Structure 1
Amino acid sequence: MDERARTLLKTLVERYIADGQPVGSRTLSKASGLELSPATIRNVMADLEELGLIASPHTSAGRVPTPRGYRLFVDTMLTARALDLSDLSQSPADVASVRDQLQAADQPQRVIAQAAQVLSSLSHFVGVVTAPKRTSVFHHIEFLRLGEKRVLVILVAPDGDVQNRVIITARDYSPSELVETSNFLNAHYCGLGLDEVRERLRGEIDTLRGEIAQLMQAAVQAGTEMAERSEQVVVSGERNLLGVQDFGHDMGSLRKMFDLFEQKTELMRLLENSSRADGVRIYIGGESGVVPYEELSVVSSPYEVDGQLVGTLAVIGPTRMAYDRMIQLVDVTARLVGNALSGPR
């Protein structure tokens, strides 16, 4: 394309993102700043349509971008400034709010849940975050008697994350027995992985009092199940898509989309692919091979904890989104999540 066509395409995409209405030649003539006749603009638009970059809805004489047009716009015509986290005075007010909300979360799982909610509320679309794989190492364990043969197991991970699980025991335990067992576990097994604790218990079970051994085995099994079943993908704001005019009435596609958010397996595959990207990655329309909707885009970024890539977060919304703002939002949230999860908590 020549520079004239590029300017008109850029103007058309920007106007359509802002207004949500097909863009006609008269609007382009005024908005582009080019001194071109309406006839010339119509000819250029015909060429852009032939290239598959714009399309004409049946009900309007104006044009709208296609996924291919958005792709070219994002790749070659868009600039998004990275924010300096060390000085947020020149940043939008909501960025400081994101930082404060994430820092206020006192456990890793709450940081992840808060990040998904922040992405959703600031984008007005869907926020998705993959959680770091839960460690199976415990830093501290406690038992709390809830009733006859019902005990609450409280496991604290080294990163401060707390998991609770109710177990049913073969017999009733007194509070003093529960304290004795937790003290023994904390003194002899703190800092070990649950698999290692299980192996050591097999070798030491004959030397332990029967009730202590049984209770510890039940606690290790509960901790292992919690690690295996922990939620790996947190999704927030799915209902926001019901209000998007581009596809809010297509119930078949909406059903597929909500199935995607509910099952989460395909989302994990998409975000795992994104985790290999260097910085922000954008999927437009059907490019991801996962999101079952041509009118949806995904803006994603991996995040690091203590220098290691451990997860990915994303905004999922309509192709008609303000990509520059979404790129900035996803990028800064990824860095703030990494900061909130790194180092001592």
Structure 2
Amino acid sequence: MQLDTRAQTLLKALVERYIADGQPVGSRALSQISGLELSPATIRNVMADLEHMGFVASPHTSAGRVPTPRGYRVFVDQLLTVQLIDEAALESRLQSRIFSTPPQKIIANAAQVLSSLSQFAGVVMTARQESIFQQVEFLRLSEKRILLVVVTPSGEVHNRLLLTAVDYNPSQLVQAANYLNQNFGGLSFDDARLRINGELRQLQDDMSRLMQAAVEAGSDAMSEKEEDVVISGERNLLNVADLSSNMTSLRKLFDMFEQKTGLMQLLDMSSKATGVQIFIGGESNLVPMDEMSIVTAPYEVNGKIVGTLGVIGPTRMAYERVIPIVDITAKLLSNALSH
């Protein structure tokens, strides 16, 4: 639904004032801050039209109006003027934390920087890496108990205990390891799993089951090496009245942090898009609260998108400040992980 210039100007003024002080905005205030030479009656008529279209709402306790999720969406998509920030200062702040540290630490620091700069919660979905193995080895510990040793191309070693239905002798274990290494070494476990089902049918059933178990266990062992999502600054949201005003809201908020399933779906969805994405509460089933927004951006490693980061805060956040923080942090994290 298209808004004329006058309605857009008044909606922009209303959202900006509401974000600034959190109080419903009346027609008198709009006449002072909008820069339009309109009578109070005209402003009231425009506000009534905006309310009828679902862009603003009138709280029962006030004659003023507040933006709805639909109003916020028009604001961030069409009316927002993104604030210029000191990109060099932000880059220096990030670089002082992330270079010469392992990837896991870089990601945790990025979440902390997002939280400290926004004063909300920072979140980073960790880089999705294929579970590629260079070689495997089986060590017989006792009857029907085998230690699977997985070595990655970078030299990392992962161990997993296999409990088998058959007691394999050392010769069989060497045979199975040699077959996997010669035919699947250098592939991901996912690729190996797809090929194994067809290629191992000609082998003995017991050996086939051992190799299939090894592929499953090896993939699980490598996927456990780090968290899927790193969150920093959750406690900041306790200071946001819009999110912590009642126990129901708090329960939804921390259920999201504890379960992480919905948050992972949302971050994974934004990784398939380009640039900054804004999820406003009430619009998406993936955002559990009407009062919550999540600003996200994907990050890359050597030109390939591998994850997403963002800021979780109230719908009434300063988008013009948070958007460039998320955007620049994603670019700097990409640079750091690609070195």
* Same fold? TM cut 0.5: yes
Matches within 5 A, 1:220-231: 225-229=220-224, 230-231=226-227
Unmatched segments (≥5 aa) in structure 1? 84-89, 141-152, 168-187, 200-219
Distance of aligned partners of 1:292 and 1:194 in 2 relative to their CA distance in 1, 3 Å threshold: closer
Aligned match of 1:74 in 66, 73, 76?
76
Whether 2:28 is the aligned partner of 1:18: answer no
Percent identity among equivalent residues?
59
Whether 2:323 is the aligned partner of 1:327: answer yes
Partner of 2:60: 58
Deviations 1:295-318 (A, max 9, x none): 111111111110111111111111
TM-aligned CA deviation for residue 136 of structure 1: 3.7
User: What letter is aligned with 1:71?
Assistant: R
Distance of aligned partners of 1:139 and 1:341 in 2 relative to their CA distance in 1, 3 Å threshold: farther
Say if 1:134 and 1:227, in contact at 8 Å, map to a contact too: no
Once residues 139 and 123 of structure 1 are traced to their aligned partners in structure 2, the CA distance between those partners, rounded to angstroms, is 42
Once residues 334 and 72 of structure 2 are traced to their aligned partners in structure 1, the CA distance between those partners, rounded to angstroms, is 30
Partner of 1:234: 230
Once residues 12 and 342 of structure 1 are traced to their aligned partners in structure 2, the CA distance between those partners, rounded to angstroms, is 42
Once residues 107 and 157 of structure 1 are traced to their aligned partners in structure 2, the CA distance between those partners, rounded to angstroms, is 17
Matches within 5 A, 1:266-277: 266-277=262-273
Deviations 1:272-292 (A, max 9, x none): 111111111111113232121
Distance of aligned partners of 1:268 and 1:163 in 2 relative to their CA distance in 1, 3 Å threshold: farther
TM-score between the two structures when normalised by the length of structure 1: 0.73
Say if 2:57 and 2:67, in contact at 8 Å, map to a contact too: yes
Distance of aligned partners of 1:21 and 1:317 in 2 relative to their CA distance in 1, 3 Å threshold: same
Partner of 2:296: 300
SS of structure 2 residue aligned to 1:22: coil
Count of aligned residue pairs for this structure pair: 296
Deviations 1:199-238 (A, max 9, x none): 9xxxxxxxxxxxxxxxxxxxx9997544222311111122
User: What letter is aligned with 1:41?
Assistant: I
Partner of 2:336: 340
Partner of 1:260: 256
Partner of 2:122: 127
Partner of 1:317: 313
Unmatched segments (≥5 aa) in structure 2? 136-148, 162-180, 197-214
Partner of 2:48: 46
TM-aligned CA deviation for residue 253 of structure 1: 2.4
Distance of aligned partners of 1:108 and 1:81 in 2 relative to their CA distance in 1, 3 Å threshold: same
User: What letter is aligned with 2:71?
Assistant: G
Whether 2:37 is the aligned partner of 1:35: answer yes
TM-aligned CA deviation for residue 134 of structure 1: 4.0
TM-aligned CA deviation for residue 99 of structure 1: 3.2
Distance of aligned partners of 1:258 and 1:289 in 2 relative to their CA distance in 1, 3 Å threshold: same
Once residues 115 and 44 of structure 2 are traced to their aligned partners in structure 1, the CA distance between those partners, rounded to angstroms, is 38
SS of structure 1 residue aligned to 2:241: coil
TM-score between the two structures when normalised by the length of structure 2: 0.74
Aligned match of 1:107 in 102, 111, 114?
102
Once residues 70 and 194 of structure 1 are traced to their aligned partners in structure 2, the CA distance between those partners, rounded to angstroms, is 44
Once residues 153 and 238 of structure 2 are traced to their aligned partners in structure 1, the CA distance between those partners, rounded to angstroms, is 39
Say if 2:119 and 2:236, in contact at 8 Å, map to a contact too: yes
SS of structure 1 residue aligned to 2:111: helix
Once residues 92 and 31 of structure 1 are traced to their aligned partners in structure 2, the CA distance between those partners, rounded to angstroms, is 33
Deviations 1:67-105 (A, max 9, x none): 01001111111133787xxxxxx537344312332225x
